[in-house]
A and B are shown apart, each in its own frame.
Chain A
Amino acid sequence: MADLPAVVSGGWAPVAAGLLGALAVAAALLDGALAGRAAGVRSGMGQPAGEVARLLRQRRRTTVAADRLLWRIGGAGLLGMALMIVTVVPLGRWTLFDLGVGVVWVNALDVLAWAFVWLTGWGANSAYALVGGYRFLAHGLAYELPLMFALVAPAVAASSLRVGEVAAAQQGLWFVVWMPVAFVVYCLGVVAIAVWGPFSPALGRDVAGGVTAELSGVDRLLFLAGRYALLAAGAAFAVPMFLGGGAGPLLPAWAWVLVKAAVLLAGLVWLRRRVPALRPDVFMEVGWLVLLPAVLLQDLLVAVVVIGG
């Protein structure tokens, strides 16, 4: 078994946050470029910067009889979630927080999306925003259990809930190779908690932006940044779980972690351009009747291999 990552002091936390921010910005740039190319405008890459400038210049607003406290907590919460997730992702030989149950920690954090997205929809006291919030929960009911069982597979294979040990258990063969179903379901889960692409009906045009219908200025900026950060954090967490951690030729381990995370992130961003929305009313059955059995079979297979091997 390879070396386990060493815990670095909390003083490095801003660096981790900065790396997450860099990945999120890269995702936003790529999304802007892809959207710009599709729309035939040149300003694609500049779009994130322009959007940030626009939202910083814009006034915050509120609505009649809003539950402002919960609304603001929900809007800012996604960003906090993403930051907490990357604390347990080892960057090659270093980690900020070597939690014995890191996998469950990430699982607990991804469930917070249920609270934050719904609260953002609820707080505005607006019918469209609330419909958006409920849509997210409907998606949640369909993706959350498959996602949980998808996280079980690497943990069972590594016989550990420690993220560093899961990464170290993939010397030679990455988990993505022999547990592809779990990997795909995990990626769907990440896309879902980021309310991204196919899982964006909660922010749908049909309900005037859904959860974000009433957000403006810095509140909208925080919510949107939170989505990109969650996408980035989810991609980063996939690296130790499925993509062999820092393993790779030539480059140092930390660089491989970043490269793998960036590639997966680019794939998730690109997905948005290719596929239409998976509405909760049709995705619900897929989640329960296709994804859940498939990922349970995957877990069974992994368990049999681990016990038999």
Chain B
Amino acid sequence: MGVSGALARLALRHAHLLVIEVPGYWLTRVAVERLAGVRGWRLAVSPADADILAVCGSPGPELALVVARLWEQLPGPRARIDVAAPDLVAAALDQAEAMLRDTPRQRRDSTARDGQGLDDAPGGDIALAHGSEDRDGLEMDVLQVRLGPVLPDWPAGLVLRAHLHGDLIVEAQAGVVDAGQGGPAGGGHVVGGDTSGDIRQVDAGEVAARRCDNAARLLALAGWPDAAGGARAIRDRLLTGDRSAAITELARLRRRVRRSWLLRWSLRRVGPLPPDELARLGLAPDLTGDVWDRLNGMLDRAVFVTGGPAGVAAGGPAGAGVGGPTGFDVGGSVTPPAAVASVVSGWDVATARLIVASLDIAALDVVTDG
């Protein structure tokens, strides 16, 4: 018991969690990330990498199915927690830790899983991929891959059915998981259980935090974990009320990002969107330019919002309905999924992920394009 007990104690201090955000439970997800970070835990990038599956909010039937499948893919020792609101996070993480610590329980779980699942391979039934011409005129196999709804740094609830040539997205259809369940997906906290369903005025700190969160995702996808971590720390400060420190750090982060010529070199000319294209797709007009412009735009909006009066309701470069009359919207307009599908077509997966992250998505329209 000595060795394995010590191993378990050490392992528990460094658990990895796979966080699944049900659309509408943004604040809960952010709280999970923050409190897990305080414990020294890390965010997993795939189920194979995870010890804990943290479901933020109550998933609809479609997402519940996905969660169940992912749960089967956790190697174990494993723990699943369902968190419905930000103030329940600390208790849920304690619970997860207790579950992982309970070695006999994990042994039972492991024994129960032996010999089931996984090896029920579909045998010889896997169909041959059909081919089509790629952008260089070569005949290529087409692989159908569903991006989302659970991917690191991916908008909550978004599902992109992509047709891949190699890793090039030839075309894609977008949808939102559990679209039939009503309510705008991925929206603010008001749809889910974060508040008791009241439509309340979104405060400026939260709007800015949302921008920082989206910027953190983009920076993480661009392969710059430190800057992403910095953006996340600012987000957490904004939400926990440490405004002044957050504003200083935000200004520093903005300078740091602007000065990185390597980042600029990497993101320039990726996913350019002219104003008329944005209007046609129903995207906010402040997304003009390429991914680099949009990253800076996000940080600028965050700076503007924190600098402005509390509860900004109108105007400024943020424009586009900051805390607008619809109430559910946290500083960005509702993004139509079809627009997301349209802007990623013709790009490879890496750049497509950057483009999606650069759209500063706060909420997805549930009307799918089929």
Contact = CB atoms under 8 A, between A and B. Distances in A.
Interface of A: 35, 38-43, 46-47, 49-51, 53-54, 56-65, 127-128, 131, 134-135, 198, 200-201, 204-209, 212-217, 220, 272-279, 281-282
A214 B48 contact: yes
Contacts of A128: 46
A41 B262 contact: no
B166 A134 contact: yes
Contacts, number: 159
15 contacts: A46-B13, A53-B7, A53-B14, A56-B11, A57-B11, A57-B77, A58-B76, A60-B75, A65-B126, A209-B49, A277-B222, A277-B266, A278-B266, A282-B265, A282-B266
Contact of B48 (A46, A51, A61): A61
Interface of B: 4, 6-8, 10-11, 13-16, 37-38, 40, 45-46, 48-49, 51, 73, 75-77, 110, 118-122, 126, 143, 145, 151-153, 164, 166-167, 219-227, 229-230, 233, 260, 262-263, 265-266, 348-351, 353-354
Nearest to B8: A57
B260 to A, nearest CB: 7
A58 B8 CA distance: 10
Interface of chain A, main secondary structure: helix
Given A127-B145, A206-B153, A276-B262, A39 B229 contact: yes
A217 B122 contact: no
A212 B49 contact: yes
Contact of A215 (B7, B48, B118): B48
Given A62-B118, A64-B119, 16 more contacts: A39-B233, A50-B11, A53-B8, A57-B7, A61-B75, A65-B126, A135-B350, A200-B223, A204-B350, A205-B45, A208-B152, A213-B49, A274-B226, A276-B263, A277-B224, A281-B351
B40 A43 contact: yes
Contacts of B220: 205
A205 B153 contact: yes
A50 B51 CA distance: 13
Contact of B46 (A54, A200, A213): A213
A212 B73 CA distance: 14
B11 A205 contact: no
B129 to A, nearest CB: 11
A49 B11 CA distance: 8
Contact of A276 (B10, B37, B223): B223
